[in-house]
Amino acid sequence: MTDSRRVAAGLALLLIALLPGCATVRTLDAAKPGAPLVYAGTRLDWYSLNGGCCPRDRFGAEAPTYAGLDLPASALLDSLLLPFSLAAVLGISLGVTGGY
């Protein structure tokens, strides 16, 4: 394996290890009634960076420790999940289920 492949593999493993701390993943798992759905992880990071006092009350999840580092990844993941979050806000059932 070349050095660049090793670095890429190590970076991929690091990103996978950090994913559970991602604000988007935390808000998806929270399922708090009335919490924002569209760009929820990005909004949670932004809320935390701007000194928001009670993220659990507003979003149903704690903000990541390093919200500034998490913000770009949350924005990307929220963008990828945007069709699903918009469908949920509009009350459109996509028939998608998850879990085991």
Per-residue pLDDT reduced to its tens digit, 47-83: 999 988 888 888 888 888 888 888 888 898 899 989 9
Residue 43 banded pLDDT, cuts 50, 70, 90: very high
pLDDT range class, residue 15, cuts 50, 70, 90: low
Q: Which residue has the higher pLDDT, 20 or 78?
A: 78
Q: How far is CA 33 from CA 4, 21, 73, in A?
A: 45, 21, 24
- Given this model, what pLDDT does residue 73 score? 84
Q: Would you kindly state where each structural domain of the chain is located, as residue ranges?
A: 20-90
**pTM listed for this prediction:** 0.72
Query: What is the rounded distance in angstroms from the CA atom of residue 41 to the CA atom of residue 44?
Result: 5
Rg (CA), the chain: 15
pLDDT for position 50: 93
CA distances from 19 to 44, 48, 57, 88, 92 (A): 15, 18, 22, 23, 27
Instruction: Say if residue 6 is exposed, middle or buried (CB neighbours under 10 Å; 0-12, 13-18, 19+).
Output: exposed
- How large a percentage of the chain has pLDDT more than 90? 15
Beta strand extents in the chain (DSSP E only): none
**Amino acid at site 40:** A
Please report the pLDDT score of residue 39 as a whole number.
93
